[in-house]
Amino acid sequence: MTKSPSEPRFPKVGDYPKEKPATRTYSVLPARAIQDDSLSHNTLRVLGAICIHTNAYGICWPSLLTLARHVNVRAETVSRHVQKLIKAGYIRKLQRKAYPIHIKRKSPGITNRYQVLFNGNDPLPTKEQFEAPRPKIVEEPSQLADNDDNNKRSGGLGDGKTDFRSLAHAFRAGVERASGAVRMADKSLQTAQMLGSQGVTADEVRDAAIAMTRENLRRGASPPMTLEQVAKWAKLYKN
């Protein structure tokens, strides 16, 4: 019996390597899924595999094959779990469109696009949210603020630029840790220097960046773009 052209062709078990694909250090999962007793173990794992590939707004387009390799099941099994997640309100399948120019495709076939629904009633993404860059696979958050227990900054400028630069990198690391979104530390150096002169530490900056990022994601907003936004939100300015 011949399959119709509309039916998906799932790769056979031998079509892909057994090793796991590269992954990120952190990803964001809808917290409500952890307490949902109706989700099976494998369905939750598939949701987690999808979340590995999202940008800061929960948008992603991993292939069924990639997801299958993450959880070590067949692609058709992943497809069934995806349908369960759609029905349960954890992901939304987006309309297939032409890929933005800056996004490199890894396969010639059409790949599904998903939106992770953190609240369940999340609005459809805007064009800007859809085209937001995805964090690089296996990208480590900046360790400059965490390298050494002796690197606890009082916030002063110390020897040149070293101390206040650690505040800018602490902001970058906090946002990445909470959302996976990539921020440029260099754009926050001026604010970091001001905060450093007031005695703000890298730990305070990192904790505030994580807290604001999580709050923004909870409200459906984007993670903070600059340390200035975090400083005002967390009232880090001491003068």
Contact between 233 and 224 under an 8 Å Cβ cutoff? The reply is: yes
Q: What pLDDT does 135 receive?
A: 61
Q: How many CB atoms lie within 10 A of CB 203?
A: 15
Strand partners, 93: 114
Distance CA 83, CA 87 (A): 6
Q: What pLDDT does 220 receive?
A: 84
Low-confidence ranges of the chain (pLDDT < 70): 1-18, 97-110, 133-163, 239
Q: E strands along 4-116, which residues?
A: 59-60, 91-94, 113-116
pTM: 0.53
Distance CA 181, CA 217 (A): 11
Contact between 106 and 138 under an 8 Å Cβ cutoff? The reply is: no
Instruction: Give the residue from 13, 58, 44 showing the smallest Cα distance to 216.
Output: 58
Contact between 111 and 61 under an 8 Å Cβ cutoff? The reply is: yes
Structure token pair of residue 24? 């990120």
Q: E strands along 143-233, which residues?
A: none
Backbone angles phi and psi of 82, in degrees to 5: -60, -45
Interval 206-233: pLDDT, tens: 999 999 988 988 888 888 999 999 999 9
Q: What pLDDT does 100 receive?
A: 52
Interval 136-151: pLDDT, tens: 554 333 333 333 333 3
Structure token pair of residue 103? 């996004």
Please give the order of strands across the beta sheet that includes 113-116. Answer: 59-60, 113-116, 91-94
Instruction: Give the residue from 91, 110, 87 showing the smallest Cα distance to 9.
Output: 110
Distance CA 198, CA 9 (A): 61
Q: What pLDDT does 37 receive?
A: 95
